[in-house]
């Protein structure tokens, strides 16, 4: 389910607005209510009708992206500090 403005994910991230959307998901501006900072949340929303194996692969690839990005430190790269699933969607 696509998050809506004002909705809170993981009892932590309050959605402020959607920044953009593409073929595999969307990016949202959110407020981290624990740290009181603005964050960007990337959502992967797979196309309907994908078989379970493909869906599992996509989730694993997205988690791998989050893990790799979390270990990179460069001024031109966005830092990743969390990865989570909510409903059938995954977020970083």
Q: Give per-residue pLDDT as tens, 35-78.
A: 999 999 999 988 888 899 998 999 999 999 999 999 999 999 98
Where b means 16+ CB within 10 Å and e means fewer, 54-87 reads eeeebbeebbeebeebeeeeeeeeeebeebeeee
Domain that holds residue 76: 8-91
Which residues contact residue 14 at a Cβ distance below 8 angstroms, ignoring those fewer than 6 apart? 6, 7, 8, 30, 31, 33
Question: How much is the pTM?
Answer: 0.86
Taking only the tens place, the pLDDT of each residue in 49-58 is 889 999 899 9
Which three-class secondary structure state does DSSP give residue 42?
A: strand
- Tell me, what CATH number does 29's domain have? 3.30.200.20
Domain total in the chain: 1
Q: How far apart are CA 19 and CA 51, in angstroms?
A: 29
């Amino acid at each position: 389910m696509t998050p809506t403005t004002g909705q809170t994910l993981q009892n932590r991230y309050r959605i402020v607005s959607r920044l953009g959307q593409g073929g595999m998901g969307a990016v949202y501006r959110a407020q981290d209510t624990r740290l009181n900072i603005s964050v960007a949340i990337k959502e992967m929303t797979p196309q309907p009708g994908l078989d379970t194996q493909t869906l599992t692969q996509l989730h694993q690839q997205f988690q791998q992206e989050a893990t790799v990005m979390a270990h990179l430190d460069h001024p031109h790269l966005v830092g990743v500090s969390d990865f989570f699933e909510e409903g059938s969607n995954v977020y970083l």
